[in-house]
Amino acid sequence: MSHTKEPWSYGEDNDGWYVEKDGVQIAHGLSEQDARRIVACVNACAGMDDPEGKLSEMRHMITDMHIRAINAEKNLDSYKDAAEYNKRRAEDAEKKRDDLLAALVNSRNCLESANEMGDGPIVDTIWYGPAETLFDYMDSVIFGFNGQPEKTLEIETTIPAIVFYPAGSLGEEVAP
């Protein structure tokens, strides 16, 4: 089926609005809105063999893209939620690691204080682990976490003093 080639235009005369091509009226007696719409549609479809099929295909593509955009937005929200959840988990894990490291440093300092007491209850050489001594092992773990050379870790610790004296060494009476 052939049709009048584009571009079409529209105008107004005594009978109302019309659509025309090269001065030849194609439709007349129209409202201005109808004339504008007809011309816009015909000119937009210039060069299409099957404008109805092409427009239908484009509608389906637009609908598909709209659905994909909605799904992408939903996925983005779930990715954001997962990222926030993982961030909180990482922060919790870092806090736990820092707490454990502080506990290890505190334990090491307490043991060292006890070891430095003349006849203290701790003997550093009693250790059957991968390091030479218990303190060496604890130091390697402590400084391995922080990536700092030995003996430079600066963590303030409060060491509760628990001192044991042999019964009677302070002059008190001891029951036999």
Task: Output the pLDDT for position 79.
Answer: 87
Residue 160, pLDDT > 60, answer: no
Per the CB < 8 A criterion, the answer to whether 10 and 19 are in contact is: yes
Q: Give 46-88 pLDDT, tens digit per residue.
A: 988 888 999 899 999 999 999 999 988 888 888 888 899 999 9
**Is this structure's pTM higher than 0.85?**
no
- To 10 degrees, the CA torsion angle through 56, 61, 62, 65? 160
**CA gap 67, 70 in Å, rounded:** 5
- Mean pLDDT for the stretch of residues 115-131: 64
Least-confidence region, from 51-55, 129-133, 134-138, 147-151:
147-151
**CA gap 123, 36 in Å, rounded:** 99
Task: Output the pLDDT for position 86.
Answer: 92
Task: Output the pLDDT for position 145.
Answer: 64
The mean of the pLDDT values for the chain is: 80
Task: Output the pLDDT for position 130.
Answer: 63
List of residues 6+ apart from 91 with CB closer than 8 A: none
